[in-house]
Structure 1
Amino acid sequence: MFYPFFFDPTIILLLPALFLAIWAQMKVKGAYAEYSRVATIRGIRAQDAARMILDSHGLRNVTIEPVPGNLTDHYDPRSKVLRLSEGVYNSASIAAIGIAAHEAGHALQDMDGYAPLKLRNMIVPVANLGSGLAFPLFFIGFLFGSPTMMDMGILFFLGVLVFHLVTLPVEFNASGRAIKVLAGTGMFTQDELYGAKKVLDAAALTYVAATVMAAMQLVRLLALRGMRND
């Protein structure tokens, strides 16, 4: 049986994942907005906190620099650069320092040779290729009745799902390292630790939502593949 692309019934499979993604975004925006207005007692800026964490672990070769955008913070393992977004870099808020500590956690993973991080870095090119080719290949095959092209699209998208699955332990582990370091250095009070954990837990939920969405997208492609053969 043939179902037009824009009106196929499998779209309902994505609704729970979509609601989860919306809820996760609301959670992270709410937590960030709340704790970005609360300065830490010690008044340390996020860039200085990240520097202290890196230096205390012998990572003086890792540089810290600002990057344009909102919540564009990331650690680049290739160039050994920790980049903090404009709203985080010079901020002394609980949210900013929590985010900076999280990114420093990725640098610590890199130093330790953390296996999931190494695996994620290896499959980034495959995931990027898959995200660009999966849907065009699948739906061209769907429209023209080509099982081979549909299967290629599914295979490419499987790489995207694997990337999301590998990302989960990487992000959760980085947050765990961040909270442990902040607690161990005495940089935060218990109340401040609670706020930082709330921000990082909300951010982690967005990765869970993205993984669920990818999984349901794969289920949808497989369902469409079966329908097209009917």
Structure 2
Amino acid sequence: MTPSADTAPRLTLRQLPDWRYLLQEYDELYRFLPAGGSDKIAGHQRKVREAISRLIRTNAPVTPQPKADKPVTAHLRRALDEGRQGVLAPVIRALDVVAPDLSWQYGYERVPKGLQDTFAYAEIAGGTGPVVSTEIILGVVLFGPGCTYPAHAHHGITESYVCLSGAVSENHQGVYVPGSMIFNPPQHLHRITVGKREPALLAYAWIGAPEDLHEQRMIFSRPRK
């Protein structure tokens, strides 16, 4: 008799160590990237590390997601290859191992105009997996060349991006290259633009109350006027 989904043994980080190795690399990102003297950024980095540590220590369950690609994932190989030459190559190598199992999503019921071909994200940890967590969402976002990600904000979510390859600008107020961190506190309106020659691959972390994490994805939201 074949076990049902409810009775089949749950897979964990120990049984699927490639996901654990990737979590370890995220921990390294948030342990050694500088906070630039900002207490708020340093505090966020600490919360991300603590959440990752708990996932590893408790041998968190892993629920593989159905593989899904989007048009922008045609640029993924280029983004990974470019990142392999940079300062965050260990993260790129760990990400490359699980790349065939990533489920790339839009996070929109109706995708904003211009994003269908130039944007997608894949979660690494979150409420629905692959690594199951209710206290943090980790993932990667891929932007195609020339992408403009519209201005948006997140309710109750503290967000950070780490640039793995390519270059992006946020709110036209700085250029972020591999090894750079972007920090967005809750309700902070931010818009991302990407250069026209290369894709950009960013790791991200969301910290917030479980109910806020559960209710949000990479969604487009404007503050009320």
TM-score (norm 2): 0.25
Larger relative contact order, structure 1 or 2 (CA cutoff 8 Å, min sep 6): 1
Select the structure that is richer in strand: 2
